[in-house]
Amino acid sequence: MRPAHHDTTTVERGSFALARCSCGWTGPARRSRERARTDARAHESAAPGEA
Ligand SMILES: [Zn+2]
């Protein structure tokens, strides 16, 4: 399931990576991009409207 309004990307900040969504959500800073991508996928399947 992938709601269209959840458009996630991963952003790099120094040696950290974090997930970001078009709905305004930002994931925690991770030390690996894989982790950030996992956060993004978890967010995409989360209930819409959740901050
Ligand atoms: Zn979102």
- pLDDT at position 29 is 97
User: What is the Å distance from ligand 1's center to 15 Cα?
Assistant: 24
d(CA 25, ligand 1 centre) in Å: 6
Q: How far apart are CA 9 and CA 21, in angstroms?
A: 6
For residue 8, give every residue at least 6 positions away whose Cβ sits within 8 Å of its Cβ, in sequence order, or none.
19, 20, 21, 22, 40, 41, 43, 44
Q: Rounded to the nearest whole angstrom, what is the distance from the C-alpha of residue 26 to the centroid of ligand 1? A: 8
CA 38 – CA 32 distance, rounded (Å): 10
Reported as a pLDDT band with limits 50, 70 and 90, residue 4 is low
Residue-range domain boundaries for the chain: 8-44
- Given a cut of 90, is residue 51 above it in pLDDT? no
pLDDT over 80 (residue 15): yes
pLDDT confidence bin for 45, thresholds 50/70/90: confident
pLDDT, position 5? 80
Q: How far is the CA of 37 from the centre of ligand 1 (A)?
A: 13
Residue with tokens 């399947």: 45
